[in-house]
Amino acid sequence: MITAPVPRARPNGWYGMLALVATESALFASLLATYAYLRFHDPHWPPPGIDPPSITAPLVLALVLVAASAPMALAARTARQRTAGPLIAPVALALVVQAAYLAFQIHLYADDLGRFSASGSAYGSIYFTLLAVHHAHVGIGVLLDCWLIARLRGGLTGYRRTAVGAIALYWYFVSLAGLAVTATILTPAW
Amino acid sequence: MAVESPAPAAAERIGRLDRIWAERPGLSGWITTTDHKRIALLYLATSLAFFAAGGTEALVMRTQLAQPNEHVVGPATYDQLMTMHGVTMIFFFVIPLSIGAFGNYLVPLMIGSRDMAFPRMNALSFWLYLGSGLLVYSSLALGMAPDAGWFNYVPLASRRFSPGLGIDFYALGLILNGVSSTAAAANFLVTIAKLRAPGMSLNRMPLFCYAILATSFSLIFALPPLTADLVFLELDRKLGFKFFDVAHGGDPVLWQHLFWIFGHPEVYIIVLPAFGIATSIIPTFTRRTMVAFPLVAVAELLVAFIGFGVWVHHMFATGLPQMTMVFFAAASLIIVIPSGIQIFAWCMTMVTGRPEFKTPLLFIVGFIVFFVFGGLSGITLAAVPFDQQVTDTYYVVAHFHYVIWGAAVFPLLGGLYYWFPKVTGRMYHERLGQATFWLVFAGTNLTFFPMHIAGMLGMPRRVWTYPSGLDWSAENLVSTIGAFLLTAGLLGMLANLVMSAYTGAPAGPNPFGGATLEWATTSPPPPYNFAVIPRVTSAYASWDDDDRADDRRRLESGELVLETGHETTASTPVDGHLDDVLHMPSESPWPFVLGIAATLGTAFVLTDHYLIAAATAALAAAVLVLWHAGEPAAA
Amino acid sequence: MLAAGCGSNQSITSPVTDPAREIDTLWWAMFAAGMVIFAVVLGLLVLAFVRRRRDDERPETERRAYAVILGGGMVAPVVLLAVLFAFVIRVMPAVSAPKPGSTDLTVEVIGHQWYWEVRYPGTDAVTANEIHLPAHTPVRIVARTADVIHSFWVPRLNRKIDMIPGRSNSIELDVPRTGIYRGQCSEFCGLGHAQMAFEVIVQPPGAFRSWLDHEEQPAATPASGTAAAGQQEFAAASCGDCHAIRGTSAAGHIGPDLTHIGSRNTLAALTIPNTPGDLMQWISNPQGWKPGSRMPGFASLPLSARRALVAYLESLR
Ligand code: HEA
Ligand code: HEA
Ligand code: CUA
Ligand SMILES: [Cu+2]
């Protein structure tokens, strides 16, 4: 029998998440490219009767979401380097921020829906689709956080270490994508 | 290479592995299996069934087109057949066969692993694929199949011009199919990166695995634009969004861009595994290593990469700016270089080797002939003004059947012969094999060559009938005859394989003297693939007799046998140093259940039952939690 | 072998105009070069077949093989493709879209499911499925669509241009020879796609002028007899909801303009010849000839009414 050395490479689960992140970034790239395409196709953007989006709230929110990656990164480091340190607490902290972000975003979304509709113009279509896809990603991340915390409460295993790293990677991606989405939808306001 | 009877210690270890890796017997074993080889066989059976369906659709079309003004089927039926034929062949036949069946069976074996990186996700990929196929085919059974062609241009595919559910079957079915392919591609990437046998650094990886690697990269980046496009279409159709509606700021050409940003990489996704098969078969039957191995590996990756920058060549008649067209024409021409390098590398390997033209190699020779011919017609299409003449004529149909049928399917057929002994443990009938090759080869030329002429004579594609007096009749009649000849050849091949599976001579582990690791294990391989994880020192591992003798010695001593659990090894991604021992997940019902849930959920969206669909999604989430409830032992 | 088809009136290899001829030349050049390349590869395969002698994998053999691979797969393609690229760049202007106002005559062609509406801007002339053009005259064709994507294509005259909602594409037709050239829709547009053809009728300029003058006129009102009864029937059967006949109350825009239907060669986008018998069958059962056609059948009208309709339409010359 041989005994396994301490692995040098990242675990499979992390690589799997990397592949998912790669394909998801292509999805966001497609959506953002669609936004740009429609925008340059249409001289009225946003179309008459629709105000350009307000800048402050989305921008602040996006930065808050990015900031929530910090505790995730901390947890990922602890898990990967197998050092002693809190794991549940940083994940829970991130979860609170991310969930709050999502709630606020949904509130803004509902507000926008009250002002103009997704079926009224191509602008509305891509605007609401882009945001909805982003929110769905945040929502799934929140569910992953919950699952992770539930798991970690039962103790730390190799499998759960991998999960922390993978979910952290997911969040880095979602927050960066969130930043790109926000920057894009705010372009008409500049 | 005679099979030696294992010494007592070895036999004991093998017995232990047999017990650890045994799966449930019978039907429930097939449903819960996570064995990549059994999953590959599921893919094989399913994709061949779809092949038969797509082929039958083609035969009905060919019968209708045999003569001018025929009335075998009307346009409503024809358009459905034509669309289903394209969709079936691309999404439900050739990709699942090449990636799902060949990739799944061979990649773990070739890299000396015991399974894929994510065995359960592998099973899920298959069930999603089956679900998407059944979903799309249920539309044909209901008489409301999609009928706007496989690239489904809007506004013809919009709700206004296609009010039925057909297009929704297409769009939602392909979204589901895309999820399946994405999961499969991610699985291959991680498997190839991490699970290679100790010593298999990247430069020792078989070229087939390079091909699958390139394909998986392409899938990962090419599918999202299609998914986005399909989602936009469904939002337009179901909720009245305006992505493609000119009157409200949308643009139908957006559909075309997104479709072809996917669609062109897709055609290389189709052909790359075939390249990989060619580079597996040629060294075996020429008894020498591939000439210019590193060039070929780089060329395979380059084809996949450049393939992302040429999509506009499908849109030369839409009236895009001249500069755009010139750019994309140039990019399309550049693709010739990696293709040409491979063509000449294959040829020179044969010239400098001692080729033995057995059935598999014959199919590869056919492949080279068709790929060069179809590739050259592709070059003519990249010449903008000429394309603007012949686009949407049978000339294009001829081009892509030469490259798809000739260049992608021929190696797959050759591969079926080549690995048949490995999978079944029996030899196919060689003489009959060669006869079917010649039938299929002649049939293919007879079917698709005249289409070039019909196209040059101005025959548009996707016509359900045509008038006499335009000199198209002879070409079409010959095509139809060819299609039936082709079918005869395929049926002969099917008969050969089915009969040989029962009556063929025993094959032994390596009947052809193959070079890659799958030939180092028994035929068929045991569930754990290798009794001992092989160590690798070259790209032609099965020709390294010392290493293989060393494997047998290590089986005696128990080194890297991993006989205490459901385990395999992991290596570092680039150098292939032994890095870890992984406990692999084993059989599970959850992928199957999740596959059903996802298919049902999609069907509910299709029929506008959004609440039930949401409930199904919640159910699916619950299944996922259950799926991950049991953890593999600590690593 | 390809030349054998030169008789077909839709053949790319029997060009009539300069642009079509340039594309044809491009084709034959590519064809010749392609056959040479194909022969080279076939030669290698034959060599592999007859040689069947295994070289040791010695450095010299490997180097020679590399030379062939790089020569055939890289050097030769780079040279050949550079030539091809230059050729393409040279031909592209010849088939590019003409600038608005660059020609004296502009013709608008509008694709419908499944027929072609033809307009002569600056005049009242509207017709369908027949495009009359003067010979020796540059004409700008502007192509648009009323519904889905179609594609305008007359292989012997020029390349094709797609007709896409929200856009218009244009092409120049300058035909030196009088004659009738067949064109066909070449973007899949639904059930009638196969039966969406048209004719370009190139006339001497004088003949064209008089044709256009006549085409501008409103329809003649039949004095009496069956044709006059037909006009009544036309109104009664609400044909005018879909068809326009200039000079009458019929002003529909779903089907082709019928003002001078009697003078057209064919019916329903070249699906059937324009004879009284065929017209009768068409009105009775359009689906029988052109499945999917947007025109409903009028077999329920009494035979006499249909006869009258035919007489009336035939009189609209
Ligand atoms: C297996 C799939 C496959 C492959 C490999 C290819 C390969 C190529 N294809 Fe093809 N193509 C399709 C599948 C494929 N295609 C399909 C399915 C469609 C139609 C979709 C639809 O409309 O439904 C299509 C359509 C299509 C079009 C659009 C036609 C139209 O609709 O108007 C164009 C235009 O440029 C094109 C070009 C090319 C080119 C340049 C290559 C090149 O990669 C070929 C390169 C290879 C060679 C050239 C041969 C080997 C090289 C040498 C021997 C070296 C020497 C050669 C020279 C110096 C020239 N293809
Ligand atoms: C992988 C791709 C693939 C394959 C293999 C084929 C195979 C064939 N295709 Fe293809 N075809 C397409 C992809 C493919 N096609 C696409 C993408 C389109 C465009 C659709 C569109 O315009 O939207 C198209 C369109 C197309 C048209 C044009 C339709 C039109 O424009 O109106 C025609 C016309 O003849 C045609 C004919 C055929 C024929 C005769 C075969 C034959 O080769 C089929 C022969 C096969 C069989 C008869 C099956 C028999 C199999 C078994 C019995 C099981 C066998 C088991 C073993 C061998 C082990 N096809
Ligand atoms: Cu109009 Cu095809
Ligand atoms: Cu392409």
Confidence band for A6, pLDDT divided at 50, 70 and 90: low
Interface test with C, best of B64, B290, B302, B456 (most C CBs within 10 A): B456
3-state secondary structure chain A: CCCCCCCCCCCHHHHHHHHHHHHHHHHHHHHHHHHHHHHHHCCCCCCCCCCCCCCHHHHHHHHHHHHCHHHHHHHHHHHHHCCCCCCHHHHHHHHHHHHHHHHHHHHHHHHHHHHCCCCCCHHHHHHHHHHHHHHHHHHHHHHHHHHHHHHHCCCCCHHHHHHHHHHHHHHHHHHHHHHHHHHHHHHHHC
Q: What integer pLDDT is reported at residue B127 of this predicted model?
A: 98
Could you give the maximum distance between any two Cα atoms of chain A, in Å?
74
Cβ within 8 Å of B, A 98-127: 118-126
Count CB pairs under 8 A between chains B and C: 261
| pLDDT tens by residue, C103-152 | 999 999 999 999 999 999 999 999 999 999 999 999 999 999 999 999 99
- Cis amide linkage into residue B30, ω under 30° from 0: no
| Pairwise CA distance, residues B221 & B303, whole Å | 14
Calculate what percentage of chain C has a pLDDT beyond 90: 87
Q: Is the pLDDT of residue B5 over 70?
A: no
User: Distance (Å, rounded) from C-alpha B162 to C-alpha B154?
Assistant: 10
Ranges A4-18, B299-313, B409-423: which has the least confidence: A4-18
The pLDDT tens digits for B31-87 are 999 999 999 999 999 999 999 999 999 999 999 999 999 999 999 999 999 999 999
Query: How many angstroms separate the CA atoms of C165 and C148, rounded?
Result: 7
- What number is the average pLDDT over the span C237-258? 94
Q: pLDDT at position C215, please?
A: 95
| For helices B336-352 and C18-51, angle between their N-to-C axes, nearest 10 degrees | 20
Cα-based distances in Å from B497 to A161, B101, B518: 48, 16, 20
pLDDT tens for residues B87-119?
A: 999 999 999 999 999 999 999 999 999 999 999
What is the rounded distance in angstroms from the CA atom of residue B157 to the CA atom of residue B163? 9
- State both tokens at B47: 């994709």
Q: Which atom of ligand 3 is nearest to the CA of C149?
A: 1
Atom 60 of ligand 1, nearest CA residue:
B378
Q: Do the Cβ atoms of C95 and B385 come within 8 Å? A: yes
Sequence-ordered list of residues with C-beta below 8 angstroms from that of A2, at least 6 positions apart, any chain: B559, B560, B581
* pTM of this structure: 0.96
Decide the pairing of beta strands C139-145 and C169-173: antiparallel
Give, as one character, the DSSP assignment of residue C137.
-
Mean pLDDT of B560-582: 90
Which of A19, A26, A123 has its CB closest to that of B186? A19
Instruction: Supply the pLDDT for residue B559.
Output: 87
Chain B residue with the nearest C-alpha to that of C97: B319
Q: Would you say the ipTM is above 0.90?
A: yes
Q: What is the largest CA-CA distance in chain C?
A: 98
Residues A25-35: tens digit of each pLDDT: 999 999 999 99
Q: How far apart are CA C166 and CA B246, in angstroms?
A: 6
- B349 Cβ neighbours under 8 A, 6+ residues apart: B282, B283, B286, B288, B289, B290, B291, C65
Residue C26 reports pLDDT greater than 90:
yes
Q: Which helix (H) or strand (E) segment is C126 a member of?
A: strand C126-128
pLDDT in tens, B173-194: 999 999 999 999 999 999 999 9
Does B267 contact ligand 1 (Cβ within 6 A)? Answer: yes
Interval B404-426: pLDDT, tens: 998 999 999 999 999 999 999 99
Contact check, Cβ <8 Å, C164/B252 = yes
Query: To test the ligand 2 pocket, which listed residue (B359, B397, B497, B499) has its Cβ within 8 A of the most ligand atoms?
Result: B397
Quote the pLDDT of residue B6. 63
Return the residue whose CA atom lies nearest to atom 18 of ligand 1. B400
pLDDT at B635 (0 to 100): 38
Ligand 4 geometric centre to CA of B267 (Å): 7
Residue A120's pLDDT is: 92
Give the distance from residue B351's alpha carbon to the nearest chain A alpha carbon, in angstroms. Answer: 40
Task: Note the ligand closest to the C-alpha atom of B488.
Answer: 2
Going by pLDDT thresholds of 50, 70 and 90, the confidence category of residue C61 is confident
Calculate how close chain A gets to B488, using CA atoms only, in Å.
41
Among partner residues A38, A126, A147, which is closest to B625 by beta-carbon distance? A147
Q: What is the mean pLDDT of chain B?
A: 94
- Cβ–ligand 2 distance for B52 under 6 Å, the answer yes
Burial B241-250 (b: 16+ CB within 10 A, else e): bbbbbbebbb
> Which residue lies with its CA nearest to atom 12 of ligand 1?
B400
pLDDT-derived band at C57 (thresholds 50, 70, 90) equals confident
In the predicted structure, residue B401 carries a pLDDT above the cut 70: yes
Among candidates B75, B330, B388 on the partner chain, residue whose Cβ is nearest the Cβ of C194: B75
CA distance B196 to chain C (A): 27
Residue B563's closest CA among B525, B533, B534, B519?
Answer: B533
- How much is the pLDDT for B8? 75
The whole-angstrom distance between B421's CA and the closest CA on chain C is 25
Residue B155: is the preceding peptide bond cis (ω within 30°)? Answer: yes
- For an interface test with B, the pick among C145, C188, C191 (most B C-beta atoms closer than 10 Å) comes out as C188
3-state SS of B562-593 is CCCCCEEEEECCCCCCEEEEEECCCCCCHHHH
CA of B388, closest CA in chain C: separation in Å?
A: 5
Name which of A13-17, A94-98, C17-21, C96-100 the model is least confident about: C96-100
How far apart (Å, rounded) are the C-alpha atoms in residues B305 and B242? 32
pLDDT attached to residue A4? 45
Judge whether residue C38 has pLDDT over 70. yes
pLDDT at B4: 56
User: What percent of chain B is predicted at pLDDT more than 70?
Assistant: 98
Tell whether the model's pLDDT for residue C6 goes beyond 50: no
Ligand 1 near B115 CB (within 6 A) = no
Structure token pair of residue C196? 């969406």
Q: What percent of chain B has pLDDT over 90?
A: 89
Kindly report, residue by residue over A48-103, the tens digit of the pLDDT. 989 889 889 999 999 999 999 999 999 999 888 877 788 899 999 999 999 999 99
Residues of chain B with Cβ-Cβ distance to A164 below 8 Å are none
**pLDDT tens for residues A154-180?**
888 888 989 999 999 999 999 999 999
Interchain pair B341, C74: CB under 8 A: yes
Whether B157 lines ligand 2, by a CB cut-off of 6 Å, is no
Residue nearest to atom 24 of ligand 1 (CA): B400
- The answer, yes or no, to whether residue B569 has pLDDT greater than 50, is yes
Distance CA B278, CA C194 (A): 40
